[in-house]
Amino acid sequence: MDHTRSSKLTWLLIAIVGALTVCPVLMLVLGSFSEGLTAFGDFTTDKYVEVYTDPAFFEVMLNTTIFVLGSSTLSTVLAVFLAYLNTRTDIPFKFLFKIISIIPMMIPHLLFSVSWALLLNPSNGLINLGLMEAFSLDNAPFNIYSMWGMILIEGLLDLPIAYLIIAPAMASFDVALEESSRVSGASSWRTLFRITLPVLRPAILAAFILGVVRSLASFAVPSVIGMPGRVQVLATHLYEMIATGFATDYGKAAALGMSVLVASVTLIVVYRALTAESEKYVTIAGRGFRPTVIELGKARMPLFFVVGVLSFVLIVLPVAVLLYTSFVPYSMVPSARAFSMMSLKHWHDVLSDPISLLSLKNSLFLAVVGATLGVILSIFVAYVIVKVKTRASGVLDSLSYLSFSFPGIVIGVGFMWFFVQTPLYATIWALLLGYIATYLPYGIRPMSSAFIQIHSHLEESSLVCGASPLTTMRRIIVPLLVPGIVSGWILMASMFVRELTLSVVLSRPGTEVLAVQILRFSEDGLWGRLSALGIVMIGISTALVVTATLIGNRFRTV
């Protein structure tokens, strides 16, 4: 694409993405500097002074740092491990592993956390009870209500995001680089650490950074696991600020949220600096791109066993707990009595409830239409970020993270303050635009990882042969981007099916969505209905993932 066109495209995208993401953040900035409870009031800096001089602030930040770095490291390491085995080796049942490595994303985080509390709470957690009986222990060996529990659960929840960013890059990796290393006498481990991982640095860093930003904004794990364990992190500190009293000052919460925004933008700048020379990471050029499979040999079955155990712990246990809870009349430890009391009552209640059914319809619409529009926008944004690489494209990159970086419980109010000034307020379109604006990085990151690995020679050759830029995009770039597109679409669609933080503020009669309905059940303590609707949600997400994967496979073979 020539310079003028690139420049026009960049500025057009800055205008679109900026309109989507800057407006709510701007409203929050105004609110943080305004007296009173709305975005418009007399100027004051009191809210900043109050928030940042709070004696609890430093302990909260220390806990937050440990939690965020711990969970992001865990999710990234696990994602690299799973992605490598799935995409590069001859490990058996690959399709199954691919699906199970993304299922945690489909489970509402609240339910996932509650399931783990049922398994590992120190009073009567099922795993603890089993271990105490098996080893004649007096005390429960594990206490999920702790920092390590929070890191474990958040790490598992963020694993799919990391996996969907790293796997496409791993799939597009030119194995000739590794072969050259081995031919030169390097061992497999040396090749892994000196060739494979460094070449995948942009994808790994992107996954890690997205994990950091996500866990900074996460509320379910700090609330369900951290609060009972009295481990306070930024999200619960913010919640305390919002929940104490009736005249909630979201401006004050926004003032605190600004530090998260600054941290996130800094991370993005660091990421761009670390991956500045993107040509180093190009592995699909015009010649000999062929992803090949590495034979695991004797390690095949032991590694399969490790992944199997991981998958069981990640997927089977929490989903089994959900299924079980949806059949028993109230929260009960499994027993003969509990099984004798099972019924379909919660399922009947949920499936005959008109609001639950309307929520299902709305969430499905938002997932399919929202993810499709989001992915189309993400393709262009990722192209500009990776291939145009001007200062303006750096601005675009940072803009795309703006809403995403803000803690969830605050950004929803920013959107409300913004949309209430427009005719879109209280419509499904406000939700659609809010979702795309907030979760744009879910589309952009996998696409960027994929773009980084496509050499500009391919594009140039097409243009030299007389194809227009759009034809080049359609015939050359997009087919090579299919793994990234599928990943981006799955990430966005699954997120939109379970999106809560914006929906809880923007949803109104007629625009109810699944996650808000689930929250209602949770607030009423109706765990049975909540689990039944949660399983419906997982079913929808699974159907979307399978469909997207099948369509992706079809396009790849064309």
Partner 1 sequence: MKKLFAALFVVLMAVQAHAQDKSLLDRARTEGKASFYANITAIEPILKAFSADTGVKAEYTRISTSKFVATAITEFEAGKLMADVVQAPLPVLDLLKARGVLASYRSPAAAGYPDWTKKDDRIQLFGIEYVALIYNKERVKAADVPKRYEDLTLPKWKDKIVMANPANHATTISWLIGLKENVFKSEADWRKFLAGLAANKPMFVASFGPTPAPIESGEKLIGISMPKYIVTKAPAPLDWARVSQPMMGTPRAIAVTSKAPHPAAARAFVDYWLSKKSMDILAKDVGEYVLAPGVYPPIDGISKAKVIAIRELSDDEIQKWGAEFKKIFDVK
The residues binding partner 1 (CB under 8 A) are 37-40, 59, 63, 118, 121, 123-124, 145, 223-224, 227-228, 230-232, 239-240, 242-248, 250, 329-333, 355, 413, 416-417, 420-421, 425-426, 504-505, 508-509, 520, 522-527
- Exposure string for 429-468, b = 16+ CB within 10 A, e = fewer: ebbbbbbbbbbbbbbbbbbbbbbbbbbeebbeebbeeebe
Nearest to 151 by CA among 252, 222, 79: 222
Nearer to partner 1, 239 or 281 (CB): 239
Task: List, in sequence order, the alpha helices (H) in 200-344.
Answer: 201-217, 220-221, 234-243, 250-274, 300-311, 317-327, 336-340
Judged by CB, which is closer to partner 1: 239, or 347?
Answer: 239
Minimum Å distance from CB 314 to partner 1? 23
Q: How far apart are the first and last CA of the chain?
A: 25
Q: Which residue in 476, 445, 527 sits closest to 76, CA to CA?
A: 445
Helix (H, G, I), strand (E, B) or coil at 264: helix
CB of 36 to partner 1, least distance (A): 9
Place of tokens 């993400």: 378
Q: Smallest gap, in angstroms, from Cβ of residue 35 to partner 1?
A: 13
Helix axes 250-274, 391-405, angle to 10 degrees: 140
Residue 385 or 430 with smaller CB distance to partner 1? 430
- In angstroms, the CA 425 to CA 508 distance is 9
Output 189 or 246, the one with its CB closest to partner 1: 246
Smallest distance, partner 1 to C-beta of residue 523, A: 4
Torsion sign (Cα): 391, 72, 281, 13: negative
| Nearest-approach distance from CB 511 to partner 1, in angstroms | 10
12 vs 355 by CB, closer to partner 1: 355
DSSP string, 152-190: HHHHHHHHHHHHHHHHHHHHT--THHHHHHHHTT--HHH
For partner 1, the closer CB: 320 or 504: 504
CB of 161 to partner 1, least distance (A): 25
Whichever of 361 and 508 has its CB closer to partner 1, that residue is: 508
Identify the CA nearest to 159 among candidates 72, 98, 95.
72
- By beta-carbon proximity to partner 1, the closer residue of 59 and 90 is 59
State which residue, 494 or 522, has the beta carbon closest to partner 1. 522
Angle between helices 147-171 and 109-120 (to 10 degrees): 130
User: What residues have CB less than 8 Å from 189, skipping those under 6 apart?
Assistant: none
Helix (H/G/I), strand (E/B), else coil: 54: coil
Q: How far is the CB of 360 from partner 1 (least distance, A)?
A: 17
Longest dimension (CA), the chain: 77
d(CA 413, CA 501): 9
| DSSP classification of residue 224 | I
Smallest distance from the beta carbon of 25 to partner 1, in angstroms? 16
Report, in Å, the least distance between residue 418 CB and partner 1.
Answer: 10
CB of 420 to partner 1, least distance (A): 4
Which residue's structure tokens are 């399931």? 115
Which lies closer to partner 1 via its Cβ, residue 146 or residue 462?
Answer: 146
